[in-house]
Structures are given as C-alpha cells and as structure tokens.
C-alpha cells in the first residue's frame, strides 16, 4: 500500500539513499517515514557512476554537486538513477527515528558503519585527515548497505536544511579510533584503549 506520491523523482531518489525522511503534504501535514525493507538487489553509487562517465570530478564530489547535476541534466537524470537497482520500502512512524540498533539516532553523534569492523554500540573517535582540529566522538547506532570498510562512516546530522547542508559536505577522508573497554583482572576497573584503523 502506498504512503504518498512524491512529485519530484530526484528527491525521491535521495530519500531511498538516506533510508528515512519527512514528507510534507499539500495540506501542510508532515509524515515521517523510515526504512522497512528492500528488494535485496545490488546498490550502485550514483556519484561513482557520474565520475566514471566524466560528468563530475572525484576530488570535490558531494551530495549537492550530484543533485545540481541531476537538476541541470534532467534528460539524463533518470538513466543514471535507474542504474541503482536497489529499491527501499518505507513505513510511517511517530516519535524519534531509530537506527538498526533499535536506539534513537542522535544528531551529530550517531553513525552508520560497516558491521564487519565496527559493531553496534561501539564508540569511535573520528578525525579528519585534512583538518586535525576536526575531531569528534561517534556512536555506532546504524549500518548501511553502501558503507564498506573500516573508515567508511555516515554521520546522522538530523533533519532540515542546515542538517542537509552539513551532511552534503561530509565527503572527506578520515582516521577512526575505536574505544575498546578492557577489564583489569586485578582491580576489575574498566580502561579505554585506543587503536587506529588504517
């Protein structure tokens, strides 16, 4: 059963990429939707496809540049969007959005990770390679089919134009350090040990 009809296919495409969002109806009502399943087909990165075809530059690609290209090239937009065969099914919800961990996502703290390397609930210190002062703590509350590798992380920035603008600029190289609790057998105290993923 359908939840709503979205008139803008480009925004609908990015809703599938994000996995959750808010739909504003013509009467002003807002419906919250979240991931409920998929068709289990392979995910194809639109950004990677545009780079391979020479439409965008790999060095400075981000979500805004991809969106801008799609809007400026609507005759080709559907062709490229259809390269991604993975289709997401949504469900309505109320209250706070939860990650695959079942925990409420917290803006600028909750991250989605590759569960092969970072398990749900683990704390990660994230440091930008280009800006050593850009360091923050993230908690693995979610995972995603497109997130592959030790240092591939998606940060949940929240909702709204400010959050979207921040999310669009997060495409950068990072170092990650996992905080691992280690029990001292003599005292029973818990210490934190850091290691660097490369």
Q: In the chain, list all ranges with CATH 2.40.240.50.
A: 1-95
Alpha carbons 49 and 110: distance in angstroms, whole number? 28
Least confident piece of the model among 80-84, 101-105, 163-167: 163-167
Task: Report helix, strand or coil for 35.
Answer: strand
Quick count: other Cβ atoms within 10 Å of Cβ 80? Answer: 20
What tokens were used for 4?
């709503």
pLDDT bin (cut points 50, 70, 90) of residue 119 is confident
pLDDT computed for residue 184 by the predictor = 58
Higher pLDDT: 13 or 128? It is 13
What share of the chain in percent tops pLDDT 90?
A: 31
What global pTM score does this model have?
0.70
Q: What is the average pLDDT score of the chain?
A: 83
DSSP state, 120?
T
Question: Per residue in 65-91, pLDDT tens?
Answer: 899 999 999 999 999 999 999 999 999
Highest mean pLDDT among 37-46, 68-77, 188-197 belongs to 68-77
97-198 maps to CATH 2.30.30.790: no
Count other Cβ atoms within 10 Å, centred on residue 42. 8
CATH number of 1-95: 2.40.240.50
pLDDT digits (tens, 9 = 90+) for 43-66: 899 999 999 999 998 877 888 889
Of 121-125, 126-130, 134-138, minimum mean pLDDT range: 126-130
Backbone phi, then psi, for 20, in 5-degree steps?
-160, 160
In the chain, residues under CATH classification 2.40.40.10 are 97-198
| Residue 186 scores a pLDDT above 70 | no
């Amino acid at each position: 059963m359908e939840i709503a009809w979205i008139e803008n296919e480009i925004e609908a495409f990015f809703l599938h990429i994000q996995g959750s969002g808010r739909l504003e109806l013509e009467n002003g009502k807002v419906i919250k939707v979240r991931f409920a399943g998929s068709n289990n087909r392979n995910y194809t990165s639109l950004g990677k496809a545009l780079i391979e075809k020479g439409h965008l530059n790999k060095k400075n690609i981000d979500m805004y540049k991809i969106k801008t290209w799609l809007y400026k090239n609507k005759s080709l937009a559907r062709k490229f969007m259809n390269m991604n065969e993975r289709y997401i099914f949504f469900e309505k919800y109320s209250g706070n959005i939860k990650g695959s961990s079942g925990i409420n996502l917290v803006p600028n703290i909750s991250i989605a990770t590759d569960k092969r390397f970072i398990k749900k609930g683990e704390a990660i210190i994230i440091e930008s390679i280009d800006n050593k002062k850009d360091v923050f703590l993230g908690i693995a509350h979610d995972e995603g089919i497109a997130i592959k590798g030790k240092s591939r992380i998606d940060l949940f920035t929240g909702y709204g134009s400010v959050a979207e603008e921040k999310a669009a600029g997060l495409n950068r190289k990072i170092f990650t350090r996992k905080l691992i609790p280690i029990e001292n057998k003599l005292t029973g105290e818990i210490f934190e040990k850091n290691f660097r993923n490369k």
